[in-house]
Structure 1
Amino acid sequence: MDSQVIVALALSLVGGLSTSLGALLVILSGAPSLKMLGLLQVILRCSNSLGFAAGLMLSISFFDLAHNAINSIGFLKGNLWFFAGIIFFAVVVTFIPEPQIAPASEGKRKKENGDEGGKDMMKKHRRQVFYSGIVTAIGISLHNLPEGMAVFLGSLKGLRVGLNLAFAIALHNIPEGVAVALPVYFATQSKWEAFKLATLSGFAEPLGVVVVAYLFPSSLNPEILEGLLGAVGGVMAFLTLHEMLPLAFDYAGQKQAVKAVFFGMAFMSASLYFLQISLPEDMSL
């Protein structure tokens, strides 16, 4: 059990610290300004990373986790666990605050209209943007906690499943790091504060590993494990369709996002195949 926890922690750190990579993209891009608030859109639009990551997550959810649960514990039980995961995360999402970042164009309009107290207005604007960064960090941390749990449960099943989950999570955590660091960097003018907050939001993932490692016994019933992995598939599917895919449509456009989704699904399907033939299905940690 100790080796499983260590490997799961290592895999979750890879995913969690990807938020730090997103923060580095921000702090290395130059001095923050109102114009810089458009950087997030530019990065996501150019890379299609959200659409690609959504394809990875959907492929894991349906072709790996839910599929294996249905094959192992039966169609009815597998689907019940899968939709239980969806319902669980749908309830969790209702308690996650939605960030409200004021667009750069709003600040430009106020400046053009000659509002008095320009410095005070800028200070107020920076406070609002900083608050949005804090709210975003809280929301992302709450998302990363169950993702860390998913990596641990996947690692219990085998290294193959844990690697797949860690890779997909790491990719979609990069734009999340940008989303946290950008408003904080603009508001505080501090590269360290932006990097620190983005990194801390990623550390919720290994925390999820620690929490779930002490919630479940070392001799977890195989049927329960398969059911929990099916529920993880439901969580991942809900997260993808409820949040990642709409954002991909907004930033990259519907056609480009759909292409990126299918490319991501194909890429993950290929990786599932190659990992399956290179690593034993029941490879223990």
Structure 2
Amino acid sequence: VIGIFVRRPGPRFLTFTLGFSAGVMILVSFVELLATGIEEIGFFWGLVAFFGGMGLMFLIDVLIPHSYKAEEHHPGGKPNKSNLHRTGMLVALGIGIHNLPEGLAAFAGALENVNLGIAIAVAIAIHNIPEGLAVSAPIYAATGSRKKAFWFSFLSGVAEPVGAGIAAIFLMPFLSPALIGTVLAAVGGIMFFISIDELVPASKEYGFDHLAIIGIIIGMVVMAASLWILKVV
């Protein structure tokens, strides 16, 4: 919707919010998800699951790259409409596939604690803003159709609840402390990879490096404070 009806968010806003999202996800990955996984299945297997989650995301990233830098939509000058349309569709496909494990992350967080699941979902939603822009903006520029741009962007995002639904269908019948611990540790790896591969680089590409770092730190502090409040209340 932002890419179609509203002026693109300013670089400072995107820098801070992407950094904030990275801070939330990095802290949750280690303090909550990996820690709980280690508690349930032991130090060694917890780390195996954590790095397994990172490996899964790395494999997806290698096989299905989904760059969404604005300048890549029209390198070298005036954009070609057919190229823009193709770019938007390919980015939508790539982002959709990448969003499947993000849905799993929100589901696994909610299994551990509903408030944690909400926090993860909010962090993921923030980092989805530039992804949605990457899909809707080139398709709208190529076709002039707000409806088509909206639906392609929407469908790429729907992959997240689909991922959560798949996790619920296949994991719920076999739930056990060991399975929950394994899933949480693996999701910690997934979220950490997303943070260092996408969020941190994206937050710094606008040239406001210190603002990005401030966003990361504030995101970690806010998440740490919220987790502490949940434990003492």
The answer to whether TM tops 0.5 is yes
- Alpha-carbon distance, 1:217 to partner: 4.2
1:46 alignment partner, one of 7, 10, 13: 13
User: Once the two structures are superposed, what CA deviation does each residue of 1:132-168 show, in whole Å capped at 9, x if it has no partner?
Assistant: 1111111111111111112222222231332222121
Deviations 1:85-140 (A, max 9, x none): 1111111111113444214x612xxxxxxxxxxxxxx7xx0111111111111111
- SS of corresponding position for 2:73: coil
Counterpart residue number, 1:231: 186
Letter of the 2:77 partner, please give it.
E
1:101 maps to which of 73, 86, 90: 73
Q: Identify which of 209, 212, 218 aligns with 1:257.
A: 212
Question: Contact (CA 8 Å) 1:60, 1:164: kept in 2 or not?
Answer: no
Change (3 A) 1:126 1:45: farther
Question: Is the 1:129–1:184 contact (alpha carbons within 8 Å) kept by the matching residues of 2?
Answer: yes
**Quick one: which amino acid aligns to residue 132 of structure 1?**
T
Please point out which of 149, 170, 174 is paired with 2:129.
Answer: 174
- Tell me the equivalent position of 1:274: 229
Counterparts of 1:260 and 1:209 in 2: how far apart (Å)? 28
Please give the alpha-carbon distance, in whole angstroms, between the structure 2 residues aligned to 1:51 and 1:135.
26
Aligned to 1:27: 4
Counterpart in 1 of 2:160?
205
Partner of 1:117: none
User: Which letter does structure 2 place at the counterpart of 1:58?
Assistant: I
Identical amino acids, percent of aligned pairs: 37
Q: C-alpha separation between the residues in 1 aligned to 2:222 and 2:131?
A: 21
Distance 1:257 1:159 in 2: 28
- Aligned residue for 2:40? 72
- The structural deviation recorded for 1:267 is 1.5
In the alignment, the residues of structure 1 paired with residue 52 and residue 162 of structure 2 have an alpha-carbon distance, to the nearest angstrom, of 23
Determine helix, strand or coil for the equivalent of 1:106. Answer: coil
Q: Residue 102 of structure 1 aligns to which amino acid in structure 2?
A: H
Unaligned runs of 5+ in 1: 1-23, 31-38, 108-121, 279-285
Match of 2:107 among 147, 152, 158: 152
Identify unmatched segments of 5+ residues in structure 2. none
TM-score with structure 2 length normalisation?
A: 0.89
Task: Report the 3-state secondary structure (helix = DSSP H, G, I; strand = E; otherwise coil) of the residue aligned with 1:203.
Answer: helix
Larger Rg, first or second structure (1 or 2): 1
Number of corresponding residues = 228
**Hey, what's the Cα distance between the residues in 2 that align with 1:89 and 1:53?**
18
